[in-house]
Amino acid sequence: MLGIAFHDTRQDARAFYRRNRPPYPSILDPRGKIAGRLGVHDVPTVLFLDRQHRIVARIAGGAELFDLEDTYRRHVR
């Protein structure tokens, strides 16, 4: 997983990571260029990539673990 902070300032993103300590790295995208290229508009959005790094599925908005696992099984394996 990789987090992309595009709705936050640098200070807000750092505060979030200090407070929540997510188990994945994150990059700051203050102008939303990376998010825009990926078609990400909602927070959170999970993108599923195949072995060639192509986006094969996405879940926009909150998702339960079952949804993530099911989408992974159907589209990535």
- Hey, where are the domains in the chain? 1-40, 42-77
Q: What percent of the chain has pLDDT over 70?
A: 100
State residue 69's pLDDT score. Answer: 93
CA-based angle 34:52:77, to the nearest 5? 110
pLDDT in tens, 6-43: 988 999 999 999 999 988 889 999 999 999 999 998 88
Return all residues near 60 (Cβ < 8 A) that are at least 6 apart.
41, 42, 45
Q: Which residue has the tokens 């999970």?
A: 46
**Residue type at position 60:** A
pLDDT of 1 > 80? The answer is no
> Contact, 24 vs 1, CB < 8 A?
yes
State residue 35's pLDDT score. Answer: 94
Return all residues near 49 (Cβ < 8 A) that are at least 6 apart.
55, 56, 76
Q: How confident is the model at residue 62 (pLDDT cuts 50, 70, 90)?
A: confident
